[in-house]
Structure 1
Amino acid sequence: MVKSKVWTLKQQFDGQPKSSDFELVDEDLIPSIGSLEWKLLVYFQYCSESGYEYNTQFYFSEVLVEAEYLSVDPYMRVYKKETGKPMIGSGVGKVLKSANTSYKEGQKVFVNAGWRTHAIVSDKHSPYEVRHLPPLGDLPLSAGLGVMGMPGMTAYFGFIDTCKPKIGETVLVNGAAGAVGSVVGQLAKIKGCTVIGFAGSKEKCDWLTSLGFDHVFNYKETDVKTALNKSAPKGVDIYFDNVGGQFTVDALPYMNTFGRVLVCGAISTYHDGSPMLMPNPFMFILQKKLTVYGFIVTDVLNRWNEAFPEMLLWIQQGKLKFRETVTEGFDKMPEAFFSLFSGGNIGKAVVKV
């Protein structure tokens, strides 16, 4: 029998997430991979008594994984979650036991099983439960959750594949010191664009400047209109939006005709349960003839391997850099999650289990 520590959602979020919303519990993983024969015996008996056909494919695809790093991300705040169940999320870890010939004991894998130290997962039950990691070269394992994981793929497919940047265009990125925004800005530079980034502290702004961003602003000190009047005299061609809310209302008038807007997130609105009262942005969309995309990276999950070689090459060439904010200890999962909404992370936030 395998025991797992699990952070469950005790109650639904109301405004800013807080400690009382979570509960840490122990979970028995039954049956374990080691008792596969017994599991199949019970399964066959159940099918015989119930009149179902035998299908052993699922059981022979199971893998027991021990998490080494777990991800915390802003999207976890707004996606629907069931109370009493594990908090949603993904991680990278090591295969302890396997009934699946595609995964060997000791192999490092990507796992999507929530905030757990251990999980029994399958690549048949869901395409997202366990997957092979891309080649990471000399990168740390945690990079599989960041620049070579969901945030990096969001930046690659959202910006390059969807927005289709052209040399000489002006790109606006907010939340630019985060896991997604920092990569978007660097990809824009690789593609020959002028990049304007917004972040929330001097340290973050200094880092963005070191990455090659052309114009960097602390949104707490400089409002959007003042910043764009200065940095985008000819307008903005691509707006990669991670923040939403009033920032977007202020930014849209600066878009050029036939500009592209990619809505990746709206972190400024995640804790507000009431409708936002703001000017209607749709007249700007109409007048500027903007193309607006809503982008969710799991929609291109089967294409991630297309991006891996190019992303890894840019990292190895020094064209693409990344940072991680690492919190030590599984017991600190909620704390690491809270910090996302107070500007506590630079780059990708992960928890070392």
Structure 2
Amino acid sequence: MATQTRQWILDSRPVGEPTMENFELIETELPDPERGEVLVRTLYMSVDPYMRGRMRDAESYAEPWDVGDPMQAGVVGEVEASEHPDFEPGDVVTGDLQWADYAIADGRDLRGVNPEHGPISTALGVLGMPGVTAYFGTTDVAEPTPGDTVVVSAAAGAVGSVVGQLADLTGCHVVGIAGAEEKLEWLESVGFDEGINYKEEDVSAALREACPDGIDVYFDNVGGPVTDAVWPLLNVRARVAICGQIALYNATEVPTGPRKLGKLIESRARVEGLLVRDYEDRWGEALKRLSGWVASGDIEYRENVVEGLENAPDAFLGLFEGTKIGKQLVQVGEREA
């Protein structure tokens, strides 16, 4: 059984966009698992935009890390040793663990991963937090109906791509906003009707062309100027799901733009924030439906895998470049046969 592990810690708080200087890779001793605990060997690790908020010394929906704290992430791993009755060595599990080769976890914080649902890496993507976020954000918050016009920002990401495909399955006209032609081509191949390249096009003009009858649903993953461009086109009783604001995560001061709330009086639109943890008691419902759609080919997904724990900060920093399609993962180990 492992007695030491490599582990990334938060070495300093970033000002603006994070850099490698904000991370440090250390070696630390591993205690033996106590009653109710499990020793997990990391196989795959997720990096996500929300982690930027945890690097700030400020209150948010996710508790901030202190300088010197281990970085945390969604992990898929293999049980090495267990003092919990629900898990035994060799089981594949997922939970919020650490940027590390090994971690000790409270067994109550782990869920088993069923390899029959798909590759185990999908437990961090389409069959994990991003997919479940997309499912409840679409079905419970955005509530698209057949014939609606649905606009999704960061549409080629792990959440946005599933949102758009769910809207397509509902019978909606789906418009995806992304930052590369390769992304737009992939979105078209999985059911999006229109694509807008926010780096190359006038988003306001492109939206007016793609949405001649206005916008019924906006799933917001970015905030900033893209969301400003959507606002004037909201229809009466439109629904706006606020899932992420990555355009603002590295801002040292949140910019104040034109006052847009008056549009909500005219449109009587509903704007609602979304946190997937509010749906913990319904997680199984989402996974059952999502795994069925993945198995049937109705929902497709992409993964980008960076090899090696030592490259985890690079994978995280790459999120802010916006160059990848789908879910960003770090592979730390191989499952034992």
Q: Give the structure-2-normalised TM-score.
A: 0.93
Structure 1 unmatched runs, 5+: 34-58
Q: Distance in 1 between matches of 2:72 and 2:259?
A: 33
Contact 2:179–2:323, Cα closer than 8 Å, also in 1: no
Q: For residue 70 of structure 1, give the secondary structure of its aligned residue in structure 2.
A: strand
Q: CA deviation at 1:116?
A: 1.4
Indicate the RMSD between aligned Cα atoms, in angstroms.
1.2
1:225 is displaced (CA, Å) by: 1.1
TM-score normalised by the chain length of structure 1: 0.89
Deviation, 1:13, is: 1.4
Structure whose alpha-carbon radius of gyration is higher:
1
How far did 1:138 drift?
5.6
The Cα shift of 1:277 comes to: 2.6
Is the CA contact (8 Å cut-off) linking 2:93 and 2:110 kept in structure 1? yes
Query: Take 1:344 and 1:117, find their aligned partners in 2: how far apart are those partners?
Result: 27
C-alpha distance in structure 2 between counterparts of 1:113 and 1:24, whole Å: 16
Gaps of 5+ in 2: 55-63, 333-337
Amino acid at match of 2:27: D
The match for 2:296 is 317
SS at match of 2:72: coil
Native 8 Å contact 2:175 2:210 kept in 1: yes
Deviation for aligned residue 1:161: 2.1
Does structure 1 conserve the Cα–Cα contact (< 8 Å) formed by 2:94 and 2:111?
yes
| Residue number in structure 2 paired with 1:55 | none
Correspondence for 1:264 = 243
Counterpart residue type for residue 116 of structure 1: A
Q: How does 1:216-231 map to 2 (within 5 A)?
A: 216-231=195-210
2:57 aligned residue: none
Alignment of 1:169-248 (within 5 A): 169-248=148-227
In 1, are the aligned partners of 2:180 and 2:323 still within 8 Å (CA)? no
Q: How does 1:138-153 map to 2 (within 5 A)?
A: 139-153=118-132
Look up the match of 1:132.
Answer: 112
Of the structure 1 ranges 194-203 and 220-229, higher mean CA displacement relative to structure 2 is found in 220-229
Q: Which residue of 1 aligns with 2:335?
A: none
User: Does 1:14 find its partner at 2:15?
Assistant: yes
Following superposition, the deviation at residue 185 of structure 1 comes to 0.4
Is the alpha carbon distance of 1:143 and 1:262 closer, same or farther for their aligned partners in structure 2, counting shifts above 3 Å?
Answer: same
Matched, 1:81 2:55: no
One-letter amino acid of the structure 2 residue matched with residue 112 of structure 1: D
Q: 1:101 aligns with which of 77, 85, 92?
A: 85
Task: State the aligned residue count.
Answer: 322
Distance 2:69 2:324 in 1: 26
Render the CA deviation track for 1:42-62: whole Å, top value 9, x for unaligned. Answer: xxxxxxxxxxxxxxxxx4211
Shift of 1:136: 4.2
- The 5 A counterparts of 1:56-67 are 59-67=34-42
State the alpha-carbon separation in 1 of the partners of residues 254 and 325 from structure 2.
Answer: 29
Instruction: Compute the displacement of 1:179 (Å).
Output: 0.5
- The alignment status of 1:167 with 2:146, answered yes or no, reads yes
CA contact (8 A) 1:136 1:144 kept: no
Q: Is the 8 A contact 1:9 1:86 kept in 2?
A: yes
> Hey, what's the Cα distance between the residues in 1 that align with 2:229 and 2:106?
46
Please tell me whether residue 113 in structure 1 is matched to residue 88 in structure 2.
no
Give 1:41's aligned residue. Answer: none
| 8 Å contact from structure 1 (residues 199, 219) kept in 2 | yes
Q: Distance in 2 between matches of 1:122 and 1:274?
A: 38
Matched, 1:332 2:332: no
1:275 aligns with 2:254: yes
- Matched-pair contact (CA < 8 Å) for 2:142–2:218: no
Which residue matches 1:70? 45
Amino acid at match of 1:68: L
What letter matches 2:83 in structure 1? A
Kept after mapping to 2: 8 A contact 1:238/1:259? yes
Shift of 1:195: 0.2
Letter in 2 for 1:123: G
Look up the SS of the partner of 2:97 in the other structure: coil
Separation (CA, whole Å) in 1 of partners of 2:65 and 2:81: 29
Identity, in percent, stands at: 42
SS at match of 1:78: helix
